[in-house]
Chain A
Amino acid sequence: EPEVTQTPSHQVTQMGQEVILHCVPISNHLYFYWYRQILGQKVEFLVSFYNNEISEKSEIFDDQFSVERPDGSNFTLKIRSTKLEDSAMYFCASSTGEGEKLFFGSGTQLSVL
């Protein structure tokens, strides 16, 4: 069964460093998303992406965040200068269409020290 793949599963970084989280969405999906979940809290929307453009972003997704689809398969989330409060599980998700059900990757646990 097709699945969303995320790497790495764990990332430890120092405050102020840049990190890039990697995702390979399901191959025939056209809409891509990043969510995050701080330990013990809700799953929060960060950004949605379609046709090489951001469709919508949340207040969390400030200038420190960016997304890119560098080739036909990868979808990345970059945090330019990490803060302690960026520590969370980051989930990538994809769907076949707008308003359709999301399928999630297994997540990247980001720890900022």
Chain B
Amino acid sequence: QKEVEQNSGPLSVPEGAIASLNCTYSDRGSQSFFWYRQYSGKSPELIMFIYSNGDKEDGRFTAQLNKASQYVSLLIRDSQPSDSATYLCAVIGSSASKIIFGSGTRLSIRP
């Protein structure tokens, strides 16, 4: 079983719409959850982190965490062409010494 799973996409969303990205994880002891954005050929860039069940909003981004279902999601409102990138879900599991990444979801915002 993969530790962090994401749909690879591509997910195509019209400009101005809401993009919804999902992630599941296998380690029930996981405590910290992150969303990184990665443009092609670039390094991962942190856009959201969440530690508690529920929603966390930052500008156009909302992270949602459900520990009972082992599920974390990212909503991007008013999607812009510049949001086109690969979005990486990352989790710190029972071992706090490493962050494990999912394989990423490629998001494409069409004008």
* Chain A residues within CB distance 8 Å of chain B: 33, 35, 41-45, 48, 50, 55-56, 58, 91, 98-107
Contacts and interface: CB of A to CB of B under 8 A. Distances in A.
B97 to A, nearest CB: 4
Contact of B99 (A41, A102, A107): A102
A48 B96 CA distance: 10
Given A91-B43, A99-B32, A56 B100 contact: no
B102 A42 contact: yes
Contact of A104 (B31, B44, B49, B92): B44
A56 B98 contact: yes
Given A56-B95, A56-B98, A99-B31, A41 B46 contact: no
B26 interface: no
30 contacts: A41-B103, A42-B101, A42-B102, A43-B38, A45-B98, A45-B99, A45-B100, A48-B97, A48-B98, A50-B97, A56-B95, A56-B97, A58-B98, A91-B44, A98-B96, A98-B97, A99-B31, A99-B96, A101-B34, A101-B46, A101-B49, A102-B90, A102-B99, A103-B46, A104-B43, A104-B44, A104-B45, A105-B43, A106-B42, A106-B43
